[in-house]
Amino acid sequence: MAKAKARKLKLEAQDGEGEFTPRIDVEIAGIHFQNPVMTASGTFGYGQEFAHLIDLNRLGAIIVKGISADPLPGNPAPRIYETEAGMLNAIGLQNVGACTFLEEKLPFLRTLKARCIVNVFGYSTEDYVRCIEILNAGEGIDAYELNISCPNTRCGGIVYGSDPKLTEEVVAASKRAARFPLIVKLSPNVTDIGVFARAAEAAGADALSLVNTFVGMAIDIETRRPRISNLTAGLSGPAIKPVALRLVYQATQAVRIPVIGIGGITSAEDALEYLIAGAQAIQVGTANFYSPDTSLRVIDGIRDYCLRHRLHLAQLIGSLKHGVNGAGEH
């Protein structure tokens, strides 16, 4: 009886929809990813911290906490504050430094099926280059992600990612030094994202990722003091999603290199919006703090959607239609 039912179901599947296995793998900057879902820098430690919570081998990539040439202690507490639908953070880029990363963190990461992307930052162009030169020795690194939302202390503290000339300078120097492909992570705190996307592309970026956090602040009205010791902090989480989605869409329109979408993704539906807008892959950030299995649910949800719509991921990317629902075909 059970066998007959199973045979009937199989026949129905063949008759009706037919068998279809969607492909959700992607290639970005010459690297093959088993799926388009990555964990965002600074929200997933060095990967190993999450090994007891989820199957890391299922992820498209792990992007590790920002690494600098020398270790950094970060800012004093309080450095995190929960907001409506998001969080503010001013961790201050605390990290173990490039040498310790190679010795203590990378050996675990290279055992995984997930790709390993190392997020790099500095406070001068020389810092970025020095960090990359150390990391170039790392077997198992698949790409660098350059965090350019940092002030250039040699240039009056102007944030690299808010000045097109500084963006070009740091990207060109990093690209020259880098042994692995270079993904440039753009700041959203600019008036025209296209200018920065094109500057990074012109300077040799292999791909872009965006967005980093939006500069914000919060005040305790009883003490009339800032909620975060640094005064200003980066806003992330669902609160930023619509703005981040718009920026990602505009960046995809401005350049030919692949774009990776980041900002407030908590579900497959969120991720699908970015992919339809033109992102080739996405990153999950803040959601890792309260729901560490978010990335796995996003992978499953993207596959289910592709199956339901009988699409391979490549057919979905950038498939945004014009005109709103009701103004033509849905």
Q: Is 275 in the site for ligand FMN (CB under 6 A)?
A: no
Contact pattern from residue 137 through residue 176 relative to ligand FMN, giving x for each residue in contact according to CB under 6 A and a dash for the rest: ----------x-----------------------------
* Selected binder of ligand FMN within 22, 66, 216, 292 (CB under 6 A): 66
Interface with ligand FMN (CB under 6 A), residue from 236, 280, 294, 295: 236
Nearer residue to ligand FMN within complex by CB, 72 or 255:
72
Least gap, CB of 310 to ligand FMN (angstroms) = 29
Residue nearer to ligand FMN on the CB measure, 35 or 43: 43
Question: Given 99, 150, 155, 306, which residue is catalytic?
Answer: 150
The single residue listed with the structure tokens 């993704």 is 265
- Has 150 been annotated as catalytic? yes
Q: Which listed residue (263, 280, 306, 317) binds ligand FMN by CB under 6 A?
A: 263
Contact 200, 169 (CB under 8 A): no
Q: How wide is the angle at C-alpha 103 spanned by C-alphas 100 and 106, nearest 5°?
A: 100
Q: How would you label 297-317 residue by residue, b for 16+ Cβ within 10 Å and e otherwise?
A: bbbebbbebbeeeebebeebb
- Which of 22, 33, 36, 41 is the binder for ligand FMN (CB under 6 A)? 41
Three-state DSSP state, 260 = strand
Per CB under 6 A, residues contacting ligand FMN are 40-43, 65-66, 87, 89, 91, 93, 119, 147, 185, 212-213, 236-237, 240, 262-265, 284-286
